[in-house]
């Protein structure tokens, strides 16, 4: 029997598109023939805006890229500027940066895993993830006065030191975190329906993941042992003992489990950083008006969504001549068509959730 394909718009108003993403699905019955992401609904021209701001003024705009992991964005652009200037960051500031970025990674993965569970009908699981994420946001709020848009990590160090009692509060969170992970595994990972919706769906080979420039959990789920923190250590990450979680099939299940395991490894890094946290200054001697010498730099870090890189060109003035961000979420999203083909409409929601896109970073 001959059938005719038809098009269905998934988004941009659908809650499971994690923002304002539109995916045009070409369907044969309920089977996906083609999936075309349509982006740009949240484009704000951040790169061009940053070319008309001073170097320090660009920091708050990075919070609005991957707004679920803003600390990592702050770190990436700050270290790029420090490379241009040749600034050495104080030891205490380096450790605080690591702690904040790993807390940010856990908080981002909680949203990724929790919203994925909700998209597949497990509302209770989502509530648990969001409840526990509040503890991290409270730590951020005490440290810098903001829950999501921080502007905390600056060129030369961090904006202010940790308040009294903050380290003890962070240790209490880490002590509770083990119980949180046990709850997630019992409630979500062990759920048979959840497993059926995830295992064997949308596998991605290591060769294809590399060919499509995937990074982060999407790449590692395919078995590729690549994490910028290990492959090209930045800051003081080479001082910490942690593992890089890997998958084998690169399917939805592996992409989910890699992020679950990454949260545990991030907690392990934070524990080591708290134990080694030295006293001392939290900001290098950096002029208020930053004017790097003429030159260019590309600096990359491992953020929650994958590798985010900042390319900055200085012409010796107060404002960058060129400012560009390589966003992991945008690069990973190009896999949408390849992963969806041959699967059902219901699988599209799960596939998108395991890619973990944040539209602020996709559209920029």
Residue 91 CA to residue 102 CA, distance in Å, equals 17
What average pLDDT is seen over the chain? 95
Residue 361 CA to residue 73 CA, distance in Å, equals 10
Q: Which residue has the tokens 């409630």?
A: 187
pLDDT of 149 reads: 94
Report the candidate in 152, 135, 134 with the shortest Cα–Cα distance to residue 143: 152
Q: What is the pLDDT of residues 288-335, one digit of tens each?
A: 899 999 999 999 999 999 999 999 999 999 999 999 999 999 999 999
What would the mean pLDDT of 253-278 be, rounded to a whole number? 98
Q: What is the pLDDT of residues 198-239, one digit of tens each?
A: 999 999 999 999 999 999 999 999 999 999 999 999 999 999
Q: What is the pLDDT of residues 110-141, one digit of tens each?
A: 999 999 999 999 899 999 999 999 999 999 99
Residue 25 CA to residue 9 CA, distance in Å, equals 6
Residue 78 CA to residue 310 CA, distance in Å, equals 10
Query: Quick one: DSSP state of residue 283?
Result: B
pLDDT of 299 reads: 98
pLDDT of 117 reads: 94
pLDDT of 2 reads: 81
pLDDT band at 85 (very low <50, low <70, confident <90, very high): very high
Name, in order, each residue with C-beta under 8 angstroms of 242's C-beta and a sequence gap of 6 or more. 229, 265, 268, 269
What would the mean pLDDT of 241-260 be, rounded to a whole number? 97
Report the candidate in 169, 177, 185, 356 with the shortest Cα–Cα distance to residue 264: 177
Percent of the chain scoring above 70 in pLDDT: 100
pLDDT of 1 reads: 73
CB atoms within 10 A of CB 342: 11
Verdict on whether the full-model pTM lies above 0.85: yes
- Answer yes or no: are the C-beta atoms of 330 and 17 closer than 8 Å: no
pLDDT of 13 reads: 78
pLDDT of 3 reads: 82
- Topology given in CATH for the domain delimited by 55-363: Cytochrome-c3 Hydrogenase; chain B (1.10.645)
Query: Quick one: DSSP state of residue 319?
Result: S
Residue 309 CA to residue 306 CA, distance in Å, equals 10
């Amino acid at each position: 029997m001959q059938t005719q394909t038809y098009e269905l718009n998934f988004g941009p108003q659908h809650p499971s598109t994690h923002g304002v993403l539109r995916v045009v699905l070409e369907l044969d019955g309920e089977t996906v023939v083609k999936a075309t992401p349509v982006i740009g609904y949240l484009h704000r021209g951040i790169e061009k805006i940053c070319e008309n701001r001073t170097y320090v003024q660009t920091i708050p705009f990075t919070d609005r890229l991957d707004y679920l992991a803003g600390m990592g964005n702050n770190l990436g652009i700050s270290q790029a500027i420090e490379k241009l200037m040749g600034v050495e960051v104080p030891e205490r500031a380096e450790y605080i940066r690591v702690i904040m970025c790993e807390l940010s990674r856990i908080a981002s993965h909680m949203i990724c895993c929790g919203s994925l569970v909700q998209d597949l009908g497990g509302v209770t699981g989502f509530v648990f993830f969001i409840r526990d994420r509040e503890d991290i946001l409270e730590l951020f709020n005490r440290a810098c006065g903001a829950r999501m848009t921080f502007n905390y990590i600056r060129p030369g160090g961090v904006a202010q030191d940790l308040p009294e009692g903050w380290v003890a509060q962070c240790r209490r969170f880490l002590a509770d975190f083990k119980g949180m992970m046990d709850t997630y595994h019992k409630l979500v990972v062990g759920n048979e329906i959840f497993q059926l919706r995830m295992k064997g769906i949308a596998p991605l080979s290591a060769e294809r993941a590399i060919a499509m420039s995937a990074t982060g959990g999407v790449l590692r789920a395919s078995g590729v042992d690549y994490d910028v923190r290990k492959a090209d250590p930045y800051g003081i990450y080479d001082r910490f003992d942690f593992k890089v979680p890997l998958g084998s099939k690169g399917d939805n299940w592996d992409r989910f489990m890699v992020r679950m395991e990454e949260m545990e490894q991030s907690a392990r890094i934070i524990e080591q950083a708290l134990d080694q946290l030295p006293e001392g200054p939290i900001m290098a001697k950096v002029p208020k008006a930053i004017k790097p010498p003429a030159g260019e730099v590309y600096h990359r870090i491992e953020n929650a969504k994958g590798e985010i890189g900042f390319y900055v060109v200085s012409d010796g003035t107060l404002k960058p001549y060129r400012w560009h961000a390589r966003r992991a979420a945008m690069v990973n999203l190009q896999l949408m068509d390849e992963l969806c083909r041959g699967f059902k409409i219901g699988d599209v929601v799960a596939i998108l959730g395991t890619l973990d896109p944040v539209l602020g970073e996709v559209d920029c």
